[in-house]
A and B are shown apart, each in its own frame.
Chain A
Amino acid sequence: MLTVETLCRLHVSASFELHSGECIALQGASGVGKSLLLRAIADLDPNEGILKLDGVLRESMPAPVWRKKVTYVAAEPGWWAETVQEHFPAWGEAIPLVGRLGLPVECGTWDIRRLSTGEKQRLGLVRALLLDSRVLLLDEPTSALDGKSTKIVESMIADRASLGTSIIWSTHDGAQAQRVGTRLFVMSGGRIEELPP
């Protein structure tokens, strides 16, 4: 499904294949380059290498189209408008996911500035899930969440994976990596290594 060959961004380099419905849990110390790798796959920073989705070269499609299929979700998602619902093409479609993540339905009209870090993280995830991407690149998606919300997020992502969406999930938490990952990767010195199952 997603083929990454000799991807290179600064000190980070990687080659691997990600199949439909797989979830790669990516571990590594802070600053080792996990975010750089995910951002390079999403083509958010200049990088070199061959990336294909279902055999189609990344460069053969416009970058916005690629990013709708291979979507990066930052640990601290950004916001460009004043209220929550302005960040969603159709707020009505987001409501079931928002409710499942324990947020009130009326949060659509809330000012972004009143959201906590955890609320922003959950809403950032909902925003990306609505795209129905083929690949989700999750950068520490539960770093600001409590145990209960973390479990809900893990369950939602597992549901997506069961429908064929592929995931790369960056995490510091070894136990979480074991729970969510169908494959385990460790990054060290900018290179990734797959751990045996």
Chain B
Amino acid sequence: MARRATLKLGFAGDVHDVIVVIPDDEPIPWQWGEQFSVLGKETPRVDGPLKATGGARYSYDIQLPAMLYGAILRSPYARASVRNVDLSEAQRQSGVMAALRVEDDEVRFAGQEVAAVAAVSPEVATEALRHIKVDYAPLPFVVDMDKAMAAGAPKVFGRRSNVGEPHVSVVGDVARGLSEAGAVHEALYTSPVQTHVSLETHGAVASWTDGGLTVWCSTQGVFTVRDDLAVLFDLPPDKVRVITEYLGGGFGSKFGAGAEVVIAARLARMAGAPVKLMLPRAAEHVATGNRPSSSQQVKLAANGNGKLIAIELVAHGSGGIGGGAGTSGPYRSIYPCANLRIEERDVYINAGPSSPMRAPGWPQGLFALELAMDELARKLKLDRLEFRRRNNNHPVRAAEFELGARRFGWAEKSAAAKSSANQSAYLRRGIAVAAGAWHSLGSSGPEAIAVARRDGRFEVRVGTQDIGTGTRTVLAMVAAEELGVPLSAVTAQIGDTRFPFSVPSGGSSTSPSDSPAIRQAAAHLKQKLFRIAAPMLGAEPGDLEARDATIRVRFEPARKVAISEVCRRIPGDSISAEGERVPNYEGFRYDQAGCQFAEVEVDIETGVVRVLKVVAVHDAGLIIDPLTARSQVNGGVIMGVGFALFEDRRLDPQTGLMLNPTMDDYKLPGPLDTPDIDVTFVEVANGVTNTGVLGLGEAAHVCSTAAIGCAVYDAIGVPVRDLPITPDRVLAALGKV
């Protein structure tokens, strides 16, 4: 059964009545102008005290009785056949309890797993690796993308070409667009491989008991790890339990059961004891995923009115022995264009496999697209913001451009830049704007349970995990809002496959996928409480509402009873109700927009770039907690600073080894690199789910690098088209070296 509801949906200045068809047991979606008591208020995260006092237990912190420590031996060769692995001497070492070989006859990158041990201490385990004798036959390899594409290059996968099949898509006719162009710009843009550098490395504590396997795993998907392990060890899924109470970052690299998790489980089974295996930092850099490199040949054409009439992208990228190097997302969706041609290819090299990283393909795609837009704007003699306005058809982004321009002072700063009084002898300031987009509507799948206890406390449970965004907090806030109780009365339990099913935390989908299931469970629980309260109030359950920690008769607020009193009448210890995440409704449906403005200062003597100011304007449907949401945007911007200016995985062409597998040689943005960040949210009521919540982690990051790169161009007058924008590249662009 379904019913129709007329909802007020949209955003400030653009709100409409929209009819939405919703299932009977779904609460009416939250809409524009809703009066919330819990949501939308800056709320410190509920697990903040545990995190700030060191009490939060990450997988890495799990200590079990008689627990052993695992360590992995990795190939020092970028490519080799593994003729023999002799574990015997390692096995004889005092304190070594298990050793195994990873059954691969050929290693394809330096750092690939070859063997592993479990021992009584991390020190003994690491030392035991030196006693494993491996007979390698080194083979020719290639770690440079351009060389991998050349004829006669060593093949990464046997006879298969190093260059994957092209993904081609065509709209209209680019040649015709070009023929009508008032201005054309074409250039090559590149970006390096970026590594995730989650502070908690990949790994797990694995423990076999009663024919089952329990794994405390550093993962963004407890259920995907469960399913992987169930298949690999031929166990029914209910015999595998995966727990992730707290997670020290993931950024897309921690979805399934990686090699280290499987090895930990194998070692634990062999040793008959729990094994903790967390990767050392170097292995984290080389073997657990990365953002592929990109090489993007971009051609843009605009007519005399500044409308884009042709976009062409020919791109290559390498994710090592993995694929997924495409960058075309922004080209297809930011600026509508009648003539579009995309051709992109994965190139394979002997390096660790890629994995999704915070908006896969987008930061590098937008860097190239937006810098090309600015280069074209110069040819058109158009203000860069005006050029974007003319090519934008997203109403939310249009509003965000104007809001951001005011907060940033676009007009004032543009005027100031034209007066030479504002420029010092060696410091050059530049400003820029970049457009963003994302599409985190979430998906059906999650289930949830809401529980009311006789003591007046509430619990909600869902088997999701908190990658650091504050999942426990936002889910508890949603339940508290629905139940009409303060946040302090609700506990959200997550991070365990014994809780109801949920989806992995990827694509910024955690809040949009889980929050509607939680709200539905809370709504169902509320109906059960209404049935208990109805005779207490002499009313029908259908006439009741829950607000201010009371249940009361609608329109007669004086007829009320404290919800704790109602809970006291619960027969037994507690009552519970289930909820499920239903598919998205056809509401008022815009993809997310967003934009960021950046101001940089470039020292033209040293080439050093500093990011001074970023104004970030974003939308993510209903913002549940503006405080934790702002944290996510700050983080998205700062990760963009790193990708723009510092981060670069370097491989040695002679050995295939990573030259900077540390946290000092691999340059990360630190406190002193942090710009002044101004965050503003545009609230959008979308009616897509019962909460209307969208994700923010990726939306907040896609355009940060682009805005910085464009601002450097504005500052020095010449584009630096290769990331990272290091001092040597700035000086080279200026013709000084």
Q: Do A and B come from one complex?
A: no
**A interface, CB within 8 angstroms of B:** none
Residues of B near any A CB (own CB < 8 A): none
